[in-house]
């Protein structure tokens, strides 16, 4: 390997319900090779065994081989023209995908949306705008916050929000100005500021966020809850016991990517509500939880040695150098994404199969002629 070449390899294992796999690297590769080791050790029909992407193919175009019939292990060559492997390089500001029309929505908890051929996968993050059914009705209370998507099918998805209350009206008939767009690289900083979708009060306080919070046990957090949302007693200022001292909580457990528990005793606090009136939307500010700390790094526990390890986001080491434990890290990142799409001519194949171990190699070459 010469002076400017780059090569990286590693592994990841998919969940029982696979989502798009983001692989952070210290470079943006020009070629990627993917091996589904589980498909070889435990063959199953339509499992993709290997996949290849090259810069000359164009983004998301990917060649692959899959098992046609598990009983005889026939390997078939095919390709994806969308939803394959692509590279990314996040900037210092949020970037967005194409704006798409919201056709309809259904009230509930979670709230469901209909968007024709949306192209979203479970785990993607989106933002809404203009969710008005009429000038005085609709779901505009949800606009401007990031939401993690759960894919239902090609035209439907849900987000973690309770709209099953009196001030929300289901959308229908593709309302003018009602749009959704994908946040391409949502975690530029970690743990990052998060928006609150639910609060359960008690001797400890359970927080549910609209998108992954990236918090870890021991992280210190502060709250910003405007009065319209109810639980203002969580707010970091003032502290009635120690005037001028902020009220902070510590994360005691992480339930999942969008739920955590902190040590604040909120017994008797005002109940949280998302039932905000549509008329209150102009100028409405959102309930937030904010990681706090005295140094700029990310809450990763010390693991011995002279320096701390590079911080980890969503289970993946970032491209940052060693750091000291604290509140935020810069997670501006690059690498490649393996989408969980299906081939246009091979409708039964999916690039990522459930609970499978993958081995990847990524390359950046000295010369591309």
Q: What is the widest separation between alpha-carbon atoms in the chain?
A: 74
In-domain check, residue 107: yes
Domain end call among 183, 199, 228: 183
pTM higher than the cut 0.75: no
In-domain check, residue 64: yes
Q: Which residues neighbour 176 within 8 Å (Cβ) at sequence distance 6 or greater?
A: 130
Q: Could you tell me if 178 and 199 lie in one domain?
A: no
Position 45 scores a pLDDT of 81
pLDDT, block means (10 residues), the chain with 369 residues: 77 83 86 93 85 90 82 71 82 83 96 94 91 96 94 93 96 96 84 91 96 85 93 80 74 92 94 94 92 54 45 58 57 82 60 90 83
Distance, in Å, from the CA atom of 287 to the CA atom of 346, rounded to the nearest integer, reads 44
Position 268 scores a pLDDT of 94
User: Domain range spanning residue 109?
Assistant: 100-183
Distance, in Å, from the CA atom of 328 to the CA atom of 214, rounded to the nearest integer, reads 10
Q: Could you tell me if 138 and 218 lie in one domain?
A: no
Q: Could you tell me if 243 and 278 lie in one domain?
A: yes
Q: Could you tell me if 287 and 196 lie in one domain?
A: yes
In-domain check, residue 94: no
Position 6 scores a pLDDT of 87
In-domain check, residue 106: yes
Q: Could you tell me if 197 and 286 lie in one domain?
A: yes
Number of domains in the chain: 3
In-domain check, residue 313: no
Tens digit of each residue's pLDDT (9 = 90 or more) over 108-162: 999 999 999 998 888 889 999 999 999 999 999 999 999 999 999 989 999 999 9
In-domain check, residue 300: no
Tens digit of each residue's pLDDT (9 = 90 or more) over 56-65: 888 888 888 8
Domain end call among 183, 202, 218: 183
């Amino acid at each position: 390997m010469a002076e400017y070449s780059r090569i990286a390899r590693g592994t990841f294992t998919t969940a029982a319900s696979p989502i798009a796999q983001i692989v952070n690297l210290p470079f943006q590769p020009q070629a990627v090779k993917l091996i589904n080791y589980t498909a070889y050790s435990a063959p199953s029909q339509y499992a993709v065994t290997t996949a290849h992407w090259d810069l000359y193919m164009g983004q998301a175009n990917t060649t692959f081989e899959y098992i046609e019939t598990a009983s005889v292990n026939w390997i078939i060559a095919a390709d994806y023209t969308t939803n394959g492997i692509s590279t990314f390089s996040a900037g210092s500001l949020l970037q967005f995908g194409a704006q798409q029309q919201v056709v309809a929505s259904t009230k509930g908890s979670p709230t469901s949306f209909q968007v024709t051929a949306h192209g979203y996968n479970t785990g993607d993050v989106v933002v809404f705008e203009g969710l008005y059914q009429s000038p005085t009705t609709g779901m505009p209370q949800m606009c401007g916050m990031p939401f993690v998507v759960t894919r239902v099918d090609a035209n439907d998805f849900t987000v973690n929000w309770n709209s099953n209350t009196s001030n929300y009206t289901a959308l229908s008939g593709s309302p003018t100005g009602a749009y959704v767009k994908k946040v391409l690289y949502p975690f530029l900083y970690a743990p990052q500021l998060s928006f609150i979708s639910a609060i359960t009060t008690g001797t400890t306080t359970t927080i549910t966020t609209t998108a992954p919070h990236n918090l870890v046990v021991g992280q210190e957090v502060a709250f910003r809850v405007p009065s319209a949302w109810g639980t203002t007693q969580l707010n970091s200022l003032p502290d009635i016991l120690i005037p001028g001292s902020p009220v902070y909580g510590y994360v005691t457990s992480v339930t999942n990517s969008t739920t955590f528990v902190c040590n604040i005793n909120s017994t008797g606090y005002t109940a949280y509500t998302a039932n905000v009136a549509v008329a209150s939307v102009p100028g409405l500010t959102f309930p937030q939880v904010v990681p706090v700390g005295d140094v700029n790094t990310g809450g990763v526990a010390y693991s011995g040695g002279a320096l701390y390890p590079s911080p980890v986001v969503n289970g993946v080491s970032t491209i940052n150098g060693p750091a000291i434990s604290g509140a935020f890290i810069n997670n501006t990142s690059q690498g490649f994404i393996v989408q969980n799409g299906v081939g246009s001519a091979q409708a039964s194949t999916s690039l990522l199969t459930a609970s499978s171990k993958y081995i990847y190699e990524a390359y950046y070459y000295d010369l591309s002629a």
